[in-house]
């Protein structure tokens, strides 16, 4: 087992302080080597031919959003792009022209975006807060958020920007394609993409071409003419000899350059080229072989041994080769630019032409290749390119080394520091056997699966790691942290009290490990919140925040702020709660950008505060941003529940019944997919609440019986895991009772539940219940409500500005509200106006439509025939007719135009 080989390392790690998270904030200069040769074209001294005709062609199509160069290797794509870049820079002093050379490691979308952003910044584009995130490769988990932020930067720049991507085929993948297509579609006003590739990208090129957005150059366009070939050789090769060479190479640029080098060495003549089978690639291979074989043995050995390195300088070459003469070897080879391409003006970094690299690698003995890969892995890891380091270790058949590199870099903490995509890319380099056999990798994988919402696999991997984790203190510590995170993500809190509730308890349980302490304290805070034990929440979350501040983790501190803010709101400390959320928003923007997923999560709780304060029309942007975040990133029950409730309640009043039902359908699906039973139960209650408010009492009753809400209300003790459900069920059943005229029953239910919440310190739920109880009491007692009861129920609304609770209660609260001329009444003026508007224009009872009926409606509105609708939905025409009949009945119309008109009036379709 590799674990045995790592035992000493693990014991040492257990005695050392935590590998703290602020390593992500190291000086950016430590990473500078990683983009040598990527952000500028090669600094070759080759006899390059000015491609005047091609450059003129590119100038004629300069307004196209995309210029695409596609050919096999060696046709001079990079040379042409370098010349085009020079032309653009010479044409304007302020031109913003970015260059990015790509390789296989850039196929991870966030790595690609990081380098792209740095290239644009190098060219003069102000990318603002994206810069430190790109340099440390800590971009948002959702690439489209980064793309959106870049589009904003381009718009602020307000002038054309050219981005040149060389060797795109090496980085192409679905996620990178999607990011670039978004830039093409939305950034075309400012951004010009110039892309070279061995093959056509998987983009909708035909559609882009039809819109005039693409200019394409292929291999035939890039072939060197006789006149251009003569410029390479000058007087050294003319007439029939040049014609022979041009014919044999077919104008292939790399073959001509190799031939120039071959002839310059006095190794032969153009007439000495043997006959080939018609494959021009054989010419280049023959020439490369002749050149390499004629080099001194030590130079030839140097080329072979360094060919495994994507890019290298003398230091990396020395380490990889186990020698100390690489600087001297590079000096001796300085005249061979066709072999060794310099990447910087100082000629300290180099790479091989891809064709030559393939030629050399095939000739390196396998045993020596493994030694070089392993040595290079260590250098790369020490210089902070863990992905490439692990790649070399694996290429060297050394899984133990690869594992040690991952552990030394932080193991599972990489998920926190670098994010989901980075860790996925790293783990993908290990096969399933290694991932499941080595507990360090198993824990990383478990954590990753939890963040991806895959409960069954995350728990299976935890069980797999559990036994091995008991053997080593460091592994046992890591297991405890990952287990806590997994349980939070999947709302597993049956045994939440086993996690520490105070800083002292955490220190005794996990000595000298602030991150592990902070994580378990956070888990205790979330578990205590789930059980409604607010004092424990405050104690645990404040202790957790101290630990997160100690290790300088803005991410961890931000989560602490959210947990504490929600707990404070539930206990009625609204001003303090709002202030903490405001701090969380500022921190999220400062550390992770204005369009980060973290800000989207904080925004879900911010929308909840706007809701409580009656600023319902301000919530939609936050709700939309929350939707985009929660669909693609991790979350826990509190954020899903807060977001869903605000979304459906505001949608009901601002948009109508059907949009609110759609919100609940989405929330139920999320609950089922993530196995969040409490969220599913909340949605069941909210659906009854919604239907009751819209006068659909019979349907609400059916839903209530199906969900057995009466039993849920009776078996949801407070404190206890069911407090959220009790609040939602009580509101739902009370509204159902009010809809059925059972006001006294509604009053009794609401007041009894409020009396349960108040002793537990859950004041906000109690306030909501008591406001609706006033409405029920007034109806039950013919309008008679004691002023003292009204004053008590209204006090927190007035004190904390919670007019949103009045909007939630609905227009029936209007007769009970304070006089408009009183101080309290004046503070509620905006809410009263809104309620009166709703009273005059109540929510319309809209029929519910199935997903299939909504699809038919959408196609109907676009003017599709029954036959076209059937074909589009892959159903029979009879099925379409059946759905149309149902739609007509629900709308009360008898034709297609009437159905479309009603759908638009009711907000089911956009006009």
- Least confident range from 249-253, 475-479, 798-802, 907-911: namely 907-911
Q: Does 338 score more than 90 pLDDT?
A: no
- Region 598-603: mean pLDDT is 93
Q: Does 266 score more than 80 pLDDT?
A: no
* Model pLDDT, residue 238: 66
pLDDT band at 627 (very low <50, low <70, confident <90, very high): confident
CA distance 759 to 790: 20
pLDDT band at 16 (very low <50, low <70, confident <90, very high): very low
Q: 180 versus 243: which is more confidently predicted?
A: 180
- The pLDDT tens digits for 74-109 are 778 888 999 999 999 998 878 899 999 998 889 999
- Region 10-24: mean pLDDT is 33
CA distance 610 to 613: 5
- Region 271-286: mean pLDDT is 51
* Model pLDDT, residue 275: 46
Contact 98, 123 (CB under 8 A): yes
* Model pLDDT, residue 809: 95
* Model pLDDT, residue 667: 95
Angle 828-830-833 from CA coordinates, rounded to 5° = 105
Share of the chain above pLDDT 90, in %: 53
* Model pLDDT, residue 257: 72
pLDDT band at 4 (very low <50, low <70, confident <90, very high): very low
CA distance 266 to 452: 62
Q: What is the assigned CATH class of domain 851-905?
A: mainly alpha
CA distance 631 to 623: 12
Contact 34, 105 (CB under 8 A): no
What is the overall mean pLDDT for the chain?
86
Q: Does 468 score more than 50 pLDDT?
A: yes
Q: 628 versus 249: which is more confidently predicted?
A: 628
Q: Does 626 score more than 60 pLDDT?
A: yes
- The pLDDT tens digits for 152-169 are 999 999 899 999 999 999
CA distance 97 to 84: 10
pLDDT band at 261 (very low <50, low <70, confident <90, very high): low
Q: 194 versus 415: which is more confidently predicted?
A: 194
Q: Does 14 score more than 60 pLDDT?
A: no
* Model pLDDT, residue 177: 94
- Least confident range from 311-320, 444-453, 487-496: namely 444-453
- The pLDDT tens digits for 565-600 are 999 999 999 999 999 999 999 999 988 877 788 899
CA distance 93 to 445: 50
Q: Which of 2.60.40.10, 3.30.420.40, 3.40.50.300, 3.90.730.10 would CATH assign to domain 50-222?
A: 3.40.50.300
- Least confident range from 403-412, 467-476, 753-762: namely 467-476
Q: What count of other Cβ atoms lies within 10 Å of the Cβ of residue 727?
A: 26
Contact 123, 190 (CB under 8 A): no
* Model pLDDT, residue 29: 43
* Model pLDDT, residue 286: 63
350-352 and 340-342 strand pairing = antiparallel
Q: Does 248 score more than 80 pLDDT?
A: no
* Model pLDDT, residue 7: 38
Tell me the three state secondary structure of residue 164.
strand
The model's pTM is 0.78
Q: Which residues contact 556 (CB under 8 A, 6 or more apart)?
A: 21, 416, 515, 518, 519, 522, 544, 547, 548
- Least confident range from 51-55, 473-477, 716-720, 902-906: namely 902-906
* Model pLDDT, residue 133: 86
- Region 240-252: mean pLDDT is 72
Q: Does 817 score more than 90 pLDDT?
A: no
């Amino acid at each position: 087992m590799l674990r045995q080989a790592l035992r000493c390392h693990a014991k040492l790690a257990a005695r050392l302080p935590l590998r703290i998270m602020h390593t992500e904030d190291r000086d950016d200069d430590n990473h500078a080597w990683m983009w040598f040769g990527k952000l500028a074209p090669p600094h070759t001294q080759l006899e390059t031919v000015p491609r005047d005709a091609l450059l003129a062609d590119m100038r004629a199509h300069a307004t196209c959003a995309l210029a695409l160069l596609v050919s096999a290797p060696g046709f001079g794509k990079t040379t042409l792009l370098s010349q085009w870049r020079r032309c653009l820079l010479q044409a304007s002093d302020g031109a913003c022209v970015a260059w990015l050379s790509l390789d296989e490691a850039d196929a991870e979308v966030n790595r690609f975006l990081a380098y792209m952003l740095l290239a644009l910044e190098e060219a003069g584009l102000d990318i603002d807060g994206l810069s430190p995130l790109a340099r440390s490769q800590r971009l948002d988990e959702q690439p489209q958020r980064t793309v959106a932020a870049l589009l904003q930067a381009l718009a602020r720049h307000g002038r054309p920007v050219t981005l040149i991507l060389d060797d795109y085929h090496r980085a192409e993948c679905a996620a990178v394609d999607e990011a670039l297509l978004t830039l093409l579609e939305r950034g075309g006003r400012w951004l010009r993409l110039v892309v070279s590739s061995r093959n056509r990208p998987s983009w909708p090129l035909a559609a882009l071409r039809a819109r005039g957005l693409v200019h394409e150059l292929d291999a035939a366009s890039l072939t060197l003419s006789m006149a251009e070939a003569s410029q390479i050789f000058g007087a050294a090769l003319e007439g029939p000899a040049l014609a022979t060479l041009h014919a044999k190479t077919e104008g292939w640029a790399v073959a001509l350059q190799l031939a120039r080098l071959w002839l310059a060495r006095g190794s032969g003549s153009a007439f000495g080229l043997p006959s080939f089978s018609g494959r021009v690639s054989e010419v280049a291979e023959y020439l490369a072989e002749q050149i390499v074989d004629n080099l001194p043995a030590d130079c030839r050995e140097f080329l072979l041994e360094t060919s495994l390195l994507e890019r290298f300088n003398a230091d990396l070459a020395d380490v990889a080769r186990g020698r100390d003469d690489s600087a001297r070897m590079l000096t001796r080879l300085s005249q061979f630019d066709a072999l060794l391409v310099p990447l910087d003006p100082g000629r300290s970094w180099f790479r091989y032409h891809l064709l030559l690299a393939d030629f050399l690698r095939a000739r390196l003995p396998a045993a020596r290749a493994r030694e070089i890969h392993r040595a290079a892995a260590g250098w790369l890891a020490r210089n902070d390119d863990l992905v490439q380091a692990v790649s070399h270790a694996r290429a060297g058949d050394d899984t133990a080394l690869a594992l040690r590199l991952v552990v030394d870099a932080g193991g599972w903490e990489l998920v926190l520091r670098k994010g989901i995509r980075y860790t996925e890319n790293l783990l993908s380099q290990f096969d399933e056997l290694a991932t499941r056999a080595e507990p360090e990798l198993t824990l990383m994988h478990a954590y990753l699966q939890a963040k991806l919402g895959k409960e069954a696999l995350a728990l299976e991997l935890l069980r797999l790691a559990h036994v091995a984790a008991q053997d080593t203190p460091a592994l046992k510590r890591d297991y405890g942290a990952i287990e806590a995170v997994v349980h939070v993500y999947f709302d597993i809190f049956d045994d939440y009290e086993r996690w520490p509730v105070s800083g002292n308890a955490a220190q005794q349980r996990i000595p000298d490990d602030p991150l592990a302490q902070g994580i378990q304290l956070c888990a205790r805070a979330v578990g205590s919140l789930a059980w409604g034990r607010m004092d424990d929440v405050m104690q645990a979350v404040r202790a957790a925040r101290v630990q997160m501040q100690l290790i300088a983790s803005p991410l961890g501190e931000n989560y602490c702020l959210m947990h504490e803010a929600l707990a404070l709101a539930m206990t009625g400390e609204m001003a303090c709660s709002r202030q903490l959320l405001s701090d969380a928003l500022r921190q999220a923007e400062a550390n992770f950008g204005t369009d980060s997923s973290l800000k989207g999560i904080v925004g879900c709780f911010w929308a909840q505060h706007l809701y409580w304060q009656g600023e319902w029309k301000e919530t939609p942007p936050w709700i939309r941003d929350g939707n985009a975040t929660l669909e693609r990133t991790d979350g826990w029950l509190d954020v899903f529940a807060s977001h869903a409730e605000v979304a459906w309640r505001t949608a009901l009043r601002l948009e109508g019944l059907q949009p609110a039902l759609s919100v609940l359908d989405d929330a139920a699906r999320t609950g089922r997919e993530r196995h969040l039973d409490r969220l599913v139960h909340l949605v069941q209650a909210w659906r009854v609440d919604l239907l009751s408010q819209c006068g659909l009492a019979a349907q609400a009753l059916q839903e209530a019986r199906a969900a057995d809400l009466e039993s849920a209300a009776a078996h949801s003790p407070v404190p206890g895991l069911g407090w959220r459900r009790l609040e939602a069920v009580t509101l739902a059943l009370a509204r159902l009772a009010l809809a059925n005229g059972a006001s006294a029953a509604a009053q009794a239910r609401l007041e009894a539940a409020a009396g349960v919440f108040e002793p537990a310190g859950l004041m906000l739920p109690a306030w909501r219940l008591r406001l609706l109880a006033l409405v029920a009491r007034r109806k039950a007692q013919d309008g008679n409500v004691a002023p003292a009861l009204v004053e008590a129920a209204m006090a927190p609304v007035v004190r904390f500005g919670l007019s949103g609770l009045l909007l939630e209660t609905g227009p029936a609260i209007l007769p009970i509200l304070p006089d408009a001329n009183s101080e309290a009444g004046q503070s509620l003026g905006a809410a009263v106006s809104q309620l009166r508007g709703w009273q005059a224009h109540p929510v319309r009872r809209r029929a519910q439509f199935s997903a299939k009926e909504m699809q038919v409606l959408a196609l109907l509105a676009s003017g599709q025939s029954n036959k076209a609708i059937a074909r589009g939905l892959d159903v029979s025409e009879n099925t379409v007719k059946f759905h149309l009949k149902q739609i007509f009945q629900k709308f009360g119309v008898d034709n297609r135009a009437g159905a479309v008109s009603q759908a638009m009036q009711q907000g089911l379709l956009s006009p």
